[in-house]
Amino acid sequence: MNGGMRSFGLLEDGRSVEAITLGSDDGVQVEVLTYGAIIRRLVVPARGNRRDVVLHFDRLEHYERDRAYVGPVVGRFGNRIAHGRFALDGVMHQVTVNEGANHLHGGALGFSKRLWRALEVRGDRVLLALHSPDREEGYPGNLDATIELTTNADSLKVRIGARSDAPTPVNLTYHPYFNLAGDFRTPATAHCLRIPASHYLPIGAGLIPTGEIAPVSGSTFDFRLSRRLEPPPPNSHPQLALAGGYDHCWVLDDGADCSCELVSPARDLTMSIRGSGPGLQFYNGQFLARAHPRLGSGVILEPQGLPNAMNEPRFPDAILRPGETYRAEIEYQFSS
C-alpha cells in the first residue's frame, strides 16, 4: 500500500471520501476511510512476506450498501439494546430499532455510516473526529467523538474518546472481519482462538443477554485454552441454536493478559487483541456469506463494554455524563 491520503470516491449525496494509509512497508500498515472510520486494509509482516488480514471491498458503493458492518467503528452504542429502550435518570428513551425488535450498533445509520473528519494525518498516525447531534438515532445529548489510529512495527493501536453535553450511553468499538490465513477463502473457523474469560453472557430471543453471567467451565464456550474456534452443530447447545453459532459476549477475567488471541490455520501468524473494555464480543461470521457471498470468510472479535448494559443493573455502567471523557483503547499486535 502507498502511504498518504487519496480519494476513495464520492458518496451518493456527492460528499468526498478519503482513504488514509499509515505505516511503513516493513511494519504494520493500515488503510482507514473517512467514511465510517472504516479499517479497510490491515497488512502485516508474516514470515518474511506481507499479509492482508481483514476482509474488504474495492469500491465505496459496496460500503454504502453494506449492512454486515465490514470494518467500521460502531456506535453511539455498539452491540444490542433490547427493544431500543432504556431509562436514564428517570426518563425513558427510545432509539432506532434496526434489527428485528432491537437496536444494533448505533441504529439505521450510526457512526458506521457517517463521514468523519481527518483532523491530523502523519506517517504513522491519524486523528478522526465526528459530531453526533442531540437526538441522532434517538440518543440524548450532543456527542463529539475522536478516533486515533497509530501504527508501529508489529501493531495497530486505537484510542477512542468522546464527550457529551447530556447523559448518554456510549460503547464504541471496531468491527473488522479477521482472516489471518493469507487467503480469505480459507474458512475463518479453521483458526485457533483463546479468550481469557471464565464467564460469558447467555442470550435470549433477538440475541439479547438474559442478564445472567454464566461460567464457561465444561461448556463449548470455554476458550481459556487455545483451540479451534469452529462451533459444534447449532443443535448441540441451545445457546448455539439461538445464534446459529457463536455471537456472544465473554466477560474477561480480572488480570487477563489480553482480550483474545487468534492464530492462523497454518499457525504462522498470531494476533493478540488488548482492549480496555470488560467484554469481548465473538461472532464466528456464520451469516456473512448471505450478505456478501464473494467477500470471503471472517471472524469478529470486538473488545467493548457489555451489551444492553443500561437495562442490566449487574452490568458495568455505560453512561457518559457531562464533564466526563469516554475512553476506550484497542491494540492489535501481530507476531509470526
- Residues belonging to the active site: 175, 302
Cell output for 158: 486505537
Distance CA 196, CA 192 (A): 13
- Cell digits of residue 245: 453459532
Amino acid identity of 20?
Answer: I
Sequence-distant (≥ 6) Cβ neighbours of residue 43 within 8 angstroms = 1, 28, 29, 30, 50, 51, 52, 53
- Give the HSE-up count for residue 279: Cα atoms under 13 Å, Cβ half-sphere: 26
| C-alpha cell of residue 116 | 468523519
Q: Which residues pair with 131 in a beta bridge?
A: 144
Cell numbers linked to 49? 512476506
Contact 80, 207 (CB under 8 A): yes
Number of helices (H) and strands (E), helices first, in the chain? 3, 28
The amino acid that residue 134 corresponds to is D
Question: Which helix (DSSP H) or strand (DSSP E) does residue 290 occupy?
Answer: helix 288-291
Nearest CA-CA partner of 233 in 223, 243, 224? 243
- For Cα atoms 112, 116, 117, give the angle at the middle one, nearest 5 degrees: 170
Letter for the amino acid at 99?
Answer: E
Q: Do the Cβ atoms of 177 and 55 come closer than 8 Å?
A: yes
Establish whether the linkage from the previous residue to 76 is cis, with ω within 30° of 0. Answer: yes
Please give the DSSP secondary-structure letter assigned to residue 62.
H
Q: What is the DSSP letter of 336?
A: -
